[in-house]
A = this chain, B = another copy of it.
Amino acid sequence: MNKVQNIKIGLLGCGTVGQGVYNLLQMNRDKYQPVLNNTNLEITKILVNDINKKRPNIPQELLTTDPDEILNDENIDIIIEVIGGTTKAQDYIKKALLNGKHIVTANKDLMAINAQELLDLGNKAGRQIRYEASVAGAIPIISTIKENILSNKITKVMGIINGTTNFILTKMFNEDRDLKDVLKEAQELGYAEADPTSDIEGLDAARKIAVLASIAFNRSVVLNDVYVEGITAISVDDVNYAKLFNSTIKLLGIAVNNEQGIEVRVHPTLLPMSHPLAKVDDVYNAIYIEGNAFGDLTLIGKGAGSLPTASAVVADLLSIVKDMNRNIFSYENRSCYLDTEIMEIEDTLTHFYIRMIVLDRTRVLSKITEAFADNDVSIDSVIQKKLENNLAELVILTDKVLNKNMMNAKVQIENLEVVKEIKSLIRSEKEY
């Protein structure tokens, strides 16, 4: 046995994830020591806002409110950043890199807008930046894409990467309840925040798919490149029609590498029940990937939570420490060396589900299908249901069509006298 070596770690932030990291390092110390050739991992300082807040298990003497006490500490080798947000976190990470520290971060906000600058800065400093925990909690999706399936050209990444919306849509599907009602329950259970905007408007998922697309396609994709639609317009009627098509509705982050360019989008999606993502329920996350050698691969796991997220943070940490022990640098910070075109949403091809209220009289369907045909939108299947007052509800699934054409068809249909209202328009991933 070698002499016990100490690696000193500074922890920025001590909320749910920070405490998870601290606890996991204690809990699995006996596993890590032999794996790390007897190296001991020690969190020596923790940055917090309020020293007196109750944090079970965390020794108060480690706490500080002064970031420089950690960032300028020459004895600290690695910084774990679990504050979140962009401003302060970015300043701290930059300073830490300049001071020669490796970085492990769970910060999707930051990595979705400024990953490339930080990764380059890491390269210049000769230090690693790892961010497995920034996407899909415990699922090791970044390492998987970056290393384990590197032998493939990845053509598609599609994921349930927001637990809050998956919880809501699962409840709507299983319990026939409307969104507002379920959202309230999610808030009470702590699965949704008091201000749920970032989750239900799709922004959280958009950040994560930007990070994944960058790694999968070797091309920097940032939040602004992502087309985003949230779930607020989804009604329980849509969910029930989905069932009639043997499908479900999920909020998906989708990135596709086409010949014409990359498309990256987040939106509610009609998905056949036979798809591996369709039965991923509640707060589970899952990512489905297509590659030109493996075919398809799906990873399912917990997307959030104290220990699940810490699982990813500490895996990154162990990886860095193994390199430090061997005095090597086996990791590539930056893998975006292409500048593939990023497509506009109008130019992408998807299936659509459209639901509308129409007059219940002859020739209505023919007028509507004509409007579709005028815009090169071909129809896959139709359900029509009689309503009261001489109205009918019409649900149409289209073939895979140009989004631009579908939007034009929608406008034309809205202007038809026989159409009272278009209730919803949802993309569908029928082929996979």
The residues of A with any CB-CB pair to B shorter than 8 Å are 20, 24, 27-28, 31-32, 34-35, 132, 138-140, 143-144, 147-153, 218, 276, 279, 291-302, 305, 307-308, 310-315, 317-319, 322-323, 326, 328-330, 335, 337
A349 to B364 Cα, complex, angstroms:
65
Q: CA–CA, A301 to B144, complex, Å?
A: 13
Q: How far in angstroms is the closest Cβ of chain B from A40?
A: 15
Query: Cβ of B144 and Cβ of A31 under 8 Å apart?
Result: no
Partner of A152, one of B143, B153, B311: B311
List the number of copies, as a whole number: 2
Contacts of A148 on B, CB cut-off 8 Å?
132, 140, 143-144, 148, 315
> Could you list 6 A-B pairs, sorted by A, with CB under 8 Å?
A35-B335, A144-B148, A149-B315, A291-B311, A295-B301, A295-B305
Q: Of the candidates B143, B293, B314, which one forms a contact with A293 in the assembled complex, judged by CB atoms under 8 Å apart?
A: B314
Closest to A315 in B: B151
Given contacts A147-B143, A328-B328, contact A295 B308 (CB under 8 A): yes
Expressed in whole angstroms, the minimum distance between the Cβ of A295 and any Cβ of chain B is: 5
Let me know if B301 and A297 touch, CB within 8 A: yes
Is A293's CB under 8 angstroms from B311's CB? yes
- Shortest Cβ distance from residue A173 to the other chain B in the assembled complex, whole angstroms: 15
Taking CB atoms, residues of chain B closer than 8 Å to A28 are 151-153, 292-293
> Is the CB–CB distance between B144 and A292 below 8 Å?
no
Contact of A295 among B298, B302, B326 (CB under 8 A): B302
Q: What CA separation (Å) do A147 and B323 show in the bound complex?
A: 13
